[in-house]
C-alpha cells in the first residue's frame, strides 16, 4: 500500500532542529513548528508523542548532523591539537558563512534554560559534553605522547578546560555577528594549549 512520506516529512527533524536552535525550547510553539517545518499538526503528532519528544529527537539529530561530523577528525586515531585548531576554525567559518547570525550551540543553550528536575533532557546534554571532552582528551593525550610533559591528570584537566572554554565561546558569542573576537578567543585557546603541552616553566 500507498503513499511515501512527503518531502516535508523527511525534513521535519532538520527544520524543527533549526527552529529550536534559533528560538529555544520554551519560546517555540507548535504553531511555529508547523510553519517552519511545513508539516501539519497531525503530521507532527503522528511521528512524535509531543513537543518534548520532538525536542529530544532534535537533540539526537543535532548530535548526528552537527556535533558528530565536526568532532570526527578529532576522534580519529592519532589526531593531535592540530585537529582541535581545525575544529575551531571550521566552527567559526561555518557560522560566518551561514549569514543568519550566530546561534551558539543547541546543547549549551538548552543547558542554560533546563529545569533542574528534568533528568531525561539533562542526560542527553551530559552525553554530549562527555563525547566532546573524550574527543579533546584523546587528541591532547596523543599530542602529549610526543612531548611527554604532562601527567595523565594534567591532560585530563586540560581536556576539561578546553571543553568548558569552548562552551564559553558558544555562550558568549551567541548573538554576535562580529567574528573577530571569536577568532581571537580561538587563537588564545590554541596558544595556551601549545604552551601547556610544550613550554617548560
Residues within the interface to its own copies (CB under 8 A): 22-24, 26-27, 101, 104, 108-109, 111-116, 122, 129, 157-158, 160-161, 163-172, 174-175, 181, 184-185, 187-189, 192, 195-196, 199, 201
Q: Which does 167 bind (CB under 5 to 8 A by kind): DNA, its own copies, none?
A: its own copies
Among 58, 62, 68, smallest CA distance to 37 is for: 58
Q: How many residues in the chain?
A: 201
Q: Binder to DNA among 3, 97, 148, 200 (CB under 7 A)?
A: 3
39 belongs to the binding site for DNA (CB under 7 A) = yes
Q: Which does 5 bind (CB under 5 to 8 A by kind): its own copies, DNA, none?
A: DNA
Q: Using the minimum distance from each CB to DNA, give the nearer residue, 42 or 78.
A: 42
Among 165, 133, 131, 9, smallest CA distance to 60 is for: 131
Between CA 35 and CA 169 the distance in angstroms is: 31
Between CA 130 and CA 107 the distance in angstroms is: 12
24 belongs to the binding site for DNA (CB under 7 A) = no
Count residues near DNA (CB under 7 A): 24
Q: What are the DSSP calls for 97-115, one per residue?
A: HH-S-----HHHHHHHT--
- Between CA 143 and CA 149, with CA 146 as vertex, the angle to 5 degrees is 85
Between CA 9 and CA 38 the distance in angstroms is: 8
- Between CA 58 and CA 61, with CA 59 as vertex, the angle to 5 degrees is 60
45 belongs to the binding site for DNA (CB under 7 A) = yes
Lookup: cell for 169: 565561546
Lookup: cell for 53: 519528544
174 belongs to the binding site for DNA (CB under 7 A) = no
Q: Which does 147 bind (CB under 5 to 8 A by kind): DNA, its own copies, none?
A: none
Q: Which does 29 bind (CB under 5 to 8 A by kind): DNA, its own copies, none?
A: DNA
Q: Which does 77 bind (CB under 5 to 8 A by kind): DNA, its own copies, none?
A: none
41 belongs to the binding site for DNA (CB under 7 A) = yes
* Residues at the contact surface with DNA, assessed by CB under 7 A: 1-6, 8-9, 28-31, 34, 38-43, 45-46, 50-52
Amino acid at each position: 500500500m500507498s503513499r511515501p512520506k512527503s518531502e516535508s516529512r523527511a525534513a521535519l527533524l532538520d527544520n524543527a532542529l533549526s527552529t529550536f536552535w534559533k528560538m529555544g525550547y520554551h519560546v517555540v510553539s507548535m504553531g511555529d513548528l508547523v510553519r517552519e517545518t511545513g508539516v501539519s499538526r497531525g503530521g507532527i503528532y503522528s511521528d512524535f508523542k509531543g513537543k518534548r519528544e520532538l525536542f529530544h529527537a532534535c537533540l539526537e539529530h543535532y548530535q548526528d548532523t552537527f556535533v558528530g561530523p565536526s568532532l570526527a577528525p578529532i576522534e580519529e586515531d592519532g589526531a593531535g591539537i592540530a585537529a582541535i585548531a581545525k575544529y575551531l576554525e571550521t566552527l567559526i567559518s561555518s557560522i560566518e558563512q551561514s549569514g543568519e547570525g550566530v546561534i551558539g550551540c543547541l546543547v549549551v543553550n538548552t543547558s542554560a534554560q533546563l529545569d533542574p528536575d528534568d533528568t531525561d533532557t539533562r542526560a542527553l546534554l551530559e552525553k554530549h559534553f562527555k563525547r566532546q571532552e573524550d574527543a579533546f582528551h584523546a587528541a591532547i593525550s596523543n599530542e602529549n605522547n610526543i612531548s611527554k610533559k604532562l601527567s595523565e591528570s594534567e591532560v585530563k584537566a586540560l581536556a576539561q578546560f578546553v571543553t568548558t572554554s569552548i562552551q564559553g565561546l558558544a555562550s558568549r558569542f551567541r548573538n554576535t555577528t562580529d567574528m573577530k573576537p571569536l577568532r581571537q578567543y580561538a587563537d588564545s585557546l590554541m596558544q595556551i594549549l601549545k604552551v601547556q603541552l610544550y613550554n617548560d616553566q
